[in-house]
Structure formats: C-alpha cells, structure tokens
Structure 1
Amino acid sequence: MDISDISSGVGVLDKTDVILGALASGPASLAELVAATGLARPTAHRLAMALEHHRLVARDVEGRFVLGPRLAELSAAAGEDRLMAAAGPVLTSLRDTTGESAQLYRRQGETRVCIATAERMAGLRDIVPVGSALPMKVGSAAQILLAWEEPERFYQGLRGARFTAAALSSVRRRGWAQSIGEREPGLASVSAPVRDPSRRVVAAVTITGPIQRLTRHPGARLAKAAVDAADRLTEAVCHS
C-alpha cells in the first residue's frame, strides 16, 4: 500500500492506520506486516510494539500480531452511545404502534437493568423506571439476555429460573420470548434481542402490559413489533 494515497499530513497516524488496516485481514508476522504495509521493517516493528503497549495490537499464540482488545472496547463504547441515542425514538414508536409500555434492558451481573423506557400514557400499564434492576430468573427480557449466553453462564443462569433450557431453545429458534405472569401476576411481556456487530446479544427490547390486554399468548400479536424494534436498534449499534 502506498502511504501517500491515504496521507493526512501526520505521518505516524497514517502509518498506524495502514498497520491496523493490514491486521484487519487477519494475524500477521512482522515480515508479513512489512510486506502488507510497505513500511520499513524497523518502522513497522516500532509502531507495532507501541500499538501493543496501548492494547490496540496484541499477539496470538504463535506470536503473530493481531488487532488488540482496546479496539473492541472502543467499538463497544461507540455502540453503547448509538444504542442510547436510538433507544428513545424506537421505544416511543413501539409504544405508539402497540399501545403498550416498552422498555430496553441490559444485563448487569445477575440482574437486568432498565436503561430506557416509553410508558403507556393512560390506563393499566407496567411502569418500570429507568435504572430499575430486575431479576434474571423471570420475564421475557431475562430469557432473551440468557438464551444466547456461553454454556457455563447459560446453565448457571437456569438455576432457580422460572423458565427451562427447552424454553430458551425455542427462544433461540424463533428469535423472541414471551412470559405470562412470571415477574408479576397479571402481567405479560414479549421481548426480542438487540445485537452488536459480532452478533452478541447486548440488550433486550420488551413490550409489557396486563394479561387481559396482551392475552396468554402475547407473542402472537406483539412478537413482530418487538423483533422489528430490536432490529432497528441492532442497525443503530452496528452502523454509525
């Protein structure tokens, strides 16, 4: 690659960008990095070592250079900002479309925390203030936040839960979850997953309301709306 093609006038940044761009294609030894970037070997080595110090570059088990964990952390932070920026309008639209309260939950340890909400304006409703920490053992949002976890966390999360491994298998297959009276008698909910660019589930969009309105099969009426809203938030997280 010719550095002059991407020159910003700040040479060290241009060379850093070339190195990171080369590593985006996969692991590379120093010789492979030199060949891919066109940089002099001492320059490539010096910059790669400096980037490793700042965790922008790391090494794999074979000692090759790879993209470092700091990039994932920065990406996650940017995604979080985009998620929160998009949450308000998406949840408001979901509430207006369904006539029910809508929330966005994120897992935090052994709880799920409401990070955004759009409450139904009148009548019977489920009010969950932002910041509320609810259990991971009950509710459709908990099912979503657990269903795609790694095996160890998955089976640990099932201990004492109101739902089963078989139920979560169904959640993964259809892409949404429902609950009837799990968290609170008389309430039902439907939830769908929000994902990051690596397809990891990072949040759950939830529609809640009384069973008398949502019925004992709330997914039949509300699953598509929940999934569509979650997909809009996934799009916001994955694209700047």
Structure 2
Amino acid sequence: MGNDSGIGVLDKSVLVLRTAAERPCNLAELTAATGLARATAHRLAVGLETHQLLSRDGTGRWVPGPALAQLAASARDDLREAALLVLPRLRDATGESVQLYRREGAERVCVAAAEPPAGLRDTVPVGTRLPMSAGSAASVLAAFADDETRERLLDGAAYTAKSLAEVRRRGWAHSAAERAAGVASISAPVHDRDGTVVAAVSVSGPIERLGRRPGDRWADDLIAAAAEITERI
C-alpha cells in the first residue's frame, strides 16, 4: 500500500485515489488492483466521488475528480520550485536529462525534471515511482537515511553498506546499468535548512555518453546544483 499512516481508512482511501489516478477503474478493476474487499472499495470510491476527489468518465469508470486539481493549484512545494530554477541550467551544462527525487518509503519519486530538446535521452516523467534498490539517486537517499531505514533498504539492493559509506564520504554517487540497461547516472544530496537530506538531484543518460564513471566528469557540476537548490529552500 506504500506509506502506512496507521489510520486504516485514510490509507485505503489514498490507495483508491492513487489507483484511479494511474488508470480509470470500474469496481471490479479497482477491487483487483487494490486488493480491497469489493464492498470496501465501493464505499470508499463513492465517498471520494461525493467529495469530488473522484469522478466518472464516459464509460462509468472512476477517474481523478475536479477537487484534486483545485487542491493541487493551492499547494506549494518549495523544494520543487527551487529545483525548477536550477535543473534547466544543469541540463544545459551536461546536455543530459536531469531529475530531482524524493524518497517515499521503499520508493523514490521524481518530483521535477528537465529534458534536453533532442537526442537519445533517459526520460523520467514527473510522478514516476522507482524502487529504492538501484540507481545513483537511490544510493544517495539510502546513504543519508537514518540507520534503521538504511539497514532496511539494504536488503536486496544493488548497493552495500560499504558503498553507502563511500557515498557519505565523497558526497555523491554514480551508477551504470543498475536501474536500466544502458543507462548511467550520477546523483548528489539536497539538504533542508537543518542539514537533513530531503532529495537527490540526478543527471542520467546513455552509458556511451556518460561512461561507466560519470562522477569523474560531472560531480562538481552536480554538487554545485544541489547546493544551489539547498540554498534556495
């Protein structure tokens, strides 16, 4: 179910919302996708529809409702807004795709991105959820997590406790063909005002351009971009 707040009805309602946001669902599809009992899924979906958080499309399937757009319009994300001022310059400096990731449980979520206008790219759309088990951004977010979280994330991961210690020492991570075949990346941590790592900024692209050790080429640029995002938030 993803993050667990300990409030069962809330977690189930969010699960229903996320499922309908991924693709339109009728009741049978919603029940299959969420694993909820049919009566529970129906009750929650109808309740969310009453509050306009869900609505129905022309086929009667549940889809995101207008209230979600209204709520999103009033939301402010200082981290994302700061990243959107910095990522385009990092993209232009490297000529590669750049992203900003947050960790949510055992996943990392792309919250901002900038793509080069042409050429072979590693496109990661905003909202994409990737496992925390591989990739340079996952290594950064795991390396600077609390001890208990880090130990949990190590299970089945491509990185090791030793490699995460090295990430903390040098302040960045790189990877080649960990998350996807043929893709290399380098990532650095973004801190909040208290010094806590809240995100990872990344450059990613084909191995034939970035090489298997992209940190040798782009570490300084990436650390500078991460520091600027940190300063802006």
What percent of counterpart residues are identical? 55
Tell me, in whole angstroms, the C-alpha distance in 1 between the residues paired with 2:122 and 2:220. Answer: 20
Q: Structure 2-normalised TM-score?
A: 0.66
Tell me, in whole angstroms, the C-alpha distance in 1 between the residues paired with 2:145 and 2:82. Answer: 24
**Equivalent residue runs for 1:123-134 within 5 Å:** 123-134=119-130
Deviations 1:196-220 (A, max 9, x none): 1111100000000000000111100
- The correspondence for 1:164, drawn from 160, 166, 171, is 160
Whether 1:184 and 2:161 are equivalent positions in the alignment is no
Report the counterpart of residue 222 of structure 1 in structure 2. Answer: 218
**Runs of at least 5 residues in structure 1 that lack an aligned partner in the other structure:** 1-77
Corresponding residue pairs, total? 159
Report the counterpart of residue 52 of structure 2 in structure 1. Answer: none
**Equivalent residue runs for 1:76-155 within 5 Å:** 80-81=77-78, 83-155=79-151
- The correspondence for 1:200, drawn from 177, 190, 196, is 196
Tell me, in whole angstroms, the C-alpha distance in 1 between the residues paired with 2:193 and 2:90. Answer: 23
- The correspondence for 2:229, drawn from 229, 233, 238, is 233
- The correspondence for 1:211, drawn from 192, 207, 228, is 207
> Which structure has the greater CA radius of gyration?
1
Report the counterpart of residue 64 of structure 1 in structure 2. Answer: none
Deviations 1:157-197 (A, max 9, x none): 10000011110111000000001000001000000000011
SS at match of 1:182: coil
Structure 1 stretches of 4+ moved >4 Å: none
- RMSD across aligned positions (CA): 1.3
Q: Structure 1-normalised TM-score?
A: 0.65
- The one-letter amino acid of 1:182's match is E
Alpha carbons 1:180, 1:211 under 8 Å: kept:
yes
Cα distance, 1:89 vs structure 2: 2.0
Tell me, in whole angstroms, the C-alpha distance in 2 between the residues paired with 1:190 and 1:162. Answer: 15
SS at match of 1:126: coil
Deviations 1:203-240 (A, max 9, x none): 00000000000011110001111111000000011xxx
